[in-house]
A and B are shown apart, each in its own frame.
Chain A
Amino acid sequence: MVLSDFLSVLAGFWQNGPVQVALAVGGGAALVSAVVGVFTVLRGQAFAGHALADVSSAGGSASLLLGLRPLVGFFAMAALAAGGMEALGARAVRERDLVTGIVLGAGLGLTALFLYFDMTSTATTGAAVSVMFGSMFALAPGTVTLALGVAALALAASAALYRPLLLIALDPDLATIRGVRVRAVGFAHVVVLAMAVSLSAMTIGAILSTALLIGPAACGLRLARRTGTAIAIAAGLGLLATWGGIFLAYDSFYWTPGHGWPVSFFVVAIIVGAYALTGLRGRAG
């Protein structure tokens, strides 16, 4: 019976320890990425988001060498890069892309170095794949509290910056004359962005974290007339893709004997599919 097979898979799914950790941490990462992603797209900082994620991989790979928690490594490096971009301070969009590109290059150089050391040390042979493409089922159970704490902090900060970010997106001069410290708010947003990409780098991987950051947000922005609605759609889709991806990856152990399919593949597949679907549909509330 297909249905009874499905139900028994589902029962095993819920009781599986690594799955529970993945659902919690992945869900937190998806939620934060969706919310932060909406503002990131509005600010035209998708490239900066991707660069922070890539650079964070240097921290992720270094943390394996040093025996630190991966999230600490990912975030430390992303925050350093965020600070670097701010210090090099570029106003114009073109200039900003340049600075982002330079920071990105520098970070990936370090990643190459650390991953090389990771691979030559027998204890961390799988480092390259887990840093770049995620390790959803290999998260340490002790990570849950820290990850959800970072997620809660990022969500609270996004909520605090909500109105100033929108006013700046409308026009920075209008924000300035109303007393908004445009530059400080922008920097605070980049730090929150660093938290978001570190969380998703740890779960679906540094390279694919952009999909979780931009995809659901882009769908929300396509469909909604209001910011709140856009964020709700993005959050729902991010959670659906991540949890759905985790379930499919778990289930895939029964598809191909001996090995399953990676979670990240399913997460991205669901997001891309949803984005294609939103192109066919009109706007919601």
Chain B
Amino acid sequence: MDGNATLPALAVERLSVALSGRTILDHVGFSLAPGSFCGLIGANGSGKTTLLRSILGLVTPSGGTIRCAGGKPGQAIGYVPQKIQFDPFMPLRARDVVGLGLDGHRFGIPLPNAARRARVAAMLAAVDAERFADQRVGDLSGGQQQRVMIAHALIRAPKLLLLDEPLANLDLRSIAEVVGLLHRLTEKQGITVLLSAHDMNPLLPVMDQIVYLAHGRAVSGTVADVVRGGVLSQLYGYHIDVIRVHGRVLVVAAGGVEAQDGSLLCDPVHVAPIP
């Protein structure tokens, strides 16, 4: 099985998706090496969610191929959807949500089972969620809920983990914690991570690869290869400057306008005050 090591964990070729007659993705192609950490970067509405849902088989593409090492999505791919809204009345502890990741698709009531309980506990420990494992999920903070959902996605030991904007609404500390956790997963367990975000900056220290989406098209490669004025100008179809300052990357469209808070509006990253 040595040959498998060279097979990509995920290969997307000429993927096109149309929703309600509108082209959302247009000949998107990229492939991910096993164990790599990849950021899927694009502005709101650029098609990040659509791309992830296509990989999962939730959206039917109008063309192209998607190949995933290891077979069926539910088995080989873990998924953390964009902004899960936990009903405040949802009668589930963090522990129960993780348990549903293991056998939620089965019929019947889960019977008390020591092996199952141990597996859930180990997963909660792996995402550092033991402290709040017995609280109702609806009562947890955004960062805590995100870790619970990551545990839910990981408990069946998938090879590929897709996360849709898991860093949105998190404060800087929680962002660092979640990114660090995912980075450790790629390093220690060889899991391939594809994570969507509109801001690439928190991912810069850990990203092996970037897939940059704009106007339904994508470029991919290392950050150094892709996040360049020339490459992004070609993708957007108008002039883009990439500014590197204080270890942050700012992608600025020509003619960017002042926003009300005094920051420069650009696409897709707001120029945020440097913390």
A222 to B81, CA, bound (A): 26
B74 with A177: CB separation less than 8 A: yes
- Contact mask for chain B residues 76-97; partner A; CB cutoff 8 A; 1 contact, 0 none: 0101010010010111110011
B residues near A221, Cβ cutoff 8 Å = 89, 91
Give the residue among A38, A166, A220 with the most B Cβ atoms within 10 A: A166
A159 to B135, CA, bound (A): 24
A residues near B72, Cβ cutoff 8 Å = 179
Segment 90-138 of B: residues with Cβ below 8 Å from A: 90-93, 96-97, 100, 103-110, 134-136
Contact of A226 among B56, B96, B106 (CB under 8 A): B96
- Least CB separation from A231: chain B residue: B91
- Contact mask for chain A residues 167-192; partner B; CB cutoff 8 A; 1 contact, 0 none: 10111011111111000000000000
Task: Tell yes or no: A41 within 8 A of B by CB.
Answer: yes
B108 with A170: CB separation less than 8 A: no
A283 to B136, CA, bound (A): 10
A164 to B72, CA, bound (A): 19
B residues near A228, Cβ cutoff 8 Å = 109
Contact of B57 among A159, A177, A229 (CB under 8 A): A177
In the complex, number of A-B residue pairs with CB atoms less than 8 Å apart: 93
B107 with A167: CB separation less than 8 A: no
Segment 54-68 of B: residues with Cβ below 8 Å from A: 56-58
Segment 132-178 of A: residues with Cβ below 8 Å from B: 159-164, 166-167, 169-171, 173-178
B91 with A224: CB separation less than 8 A: yes
A171 to B87, CA, bound (A): 11
B103 with A225: CB separation less than 8 A: no
A174 with B79: CB separation less than 8 A: yes
Segment 205-254 of A: residues with Cβ below 8 Å from B: 220-222, 224-230
Contact of A177 among B77, B84, B96 (CB under 8 A): B77
**Interface of B: prevailing SS:** loop
Contact of B100 among A42, A170, A225, A230 (CB under 8 A): A170
B residues near A170, Cβ cutoff 8 Å = 84, 90, 92, 97, 100, 104
Using A167-B100, A177-B57, A226-B96 as known contacts, say yes or no to A160 and B91 having CB atoms under 8 A apart.
no
Give the residue among A38, A173, A220, A229 with the most B Cβ atoms within 10 A: A173
Using A177-B74, A177-B79, A178-B74 as known contacts, say yes or no to A227 and B105 having CB atoms under 8 A apart.
no
Using A173-B56, A177-B73, A283-B136 as known contacts, say yes or no to A166 and B93 having CB atoms under 8 A apart.
no
A177 to B57, CA, bound (A): 8
- Whole-angstrom distance from the CB of A29 to the nearest CB of chain B? 22
A225 with B93: CB separation less than 8 A: yes
A227 with B92: CB separation less than 8 A: yes
For chain B, the count of residues having a C-beta within 8 Å of the partner chain is 32
B residues near A222, Cβ cutoff 8 Å = 89
- Least CB separation from A185: chain B residue: B107
A225 with B108: CB separation less than 8 A: no
B residues near A230, Cβ cutoff 8 Å = 91
Task: Tell yes or no: B53 within 8 A of A by CB.
Answer: yes
- Whole-angstrom distance from the CB of A165 to the nearest CB of chain B? 10
A163 with B100: CB separation less than 8 A: yes
A160 with B96: CB separation less than 8 A: no
B residues near A166, Cβ cutoff 8 Å = 92, 96, 100, 104
B residues near A177, Cβ cutoff 8 Å = 56-58, 73-74, 77, 79
B89 with A42: CB separation less than 8 A: yes
- Least CB separation from A167: chain B residue: B104
- Least CB separation from A181: chain B residue: B105
- Least CB separation from B94: chain A residue: A225
Give the residue among A42, A166, A170 with the most B Cβ atoms within 10 A: A170
B110 with A163: CB separation less than 8 A: yes
B residues near A176, Cβ cutoff 8 Å = 58
A residues near B104, Cβ cutoff 8 Å = 163-164, 166-167, 170, 174-175, 178, 180
Give the residue among B77, B81, B134 with the most A Cβ atoms within 10 A: B81
A162 with B109: CB separation less than 8 A: yes
28 chain-A/chain-B pairs, Cβ below 8 angstroms: A41-B89, A159-B109, A160-B107, A160-B108, A163-B100, A163-B103, A163-B105, A163-B106, A163-B107, A163-B108, A164-B105, A164-B107, A166-B100, A166-B104, A167-B100, A167-B105, A170-B90, A173-B58, A173-B81, A174-B79, A175-B105, A176-B58, A177-B57, A177-B74, A178-B74, A179-B74, A225-B92, A227-B91
Shortest 5 CB-CB distances between A and B: which pairs?
Answer: A167-B104, A178-B105, A230-B91, A178-B74, A221-B89
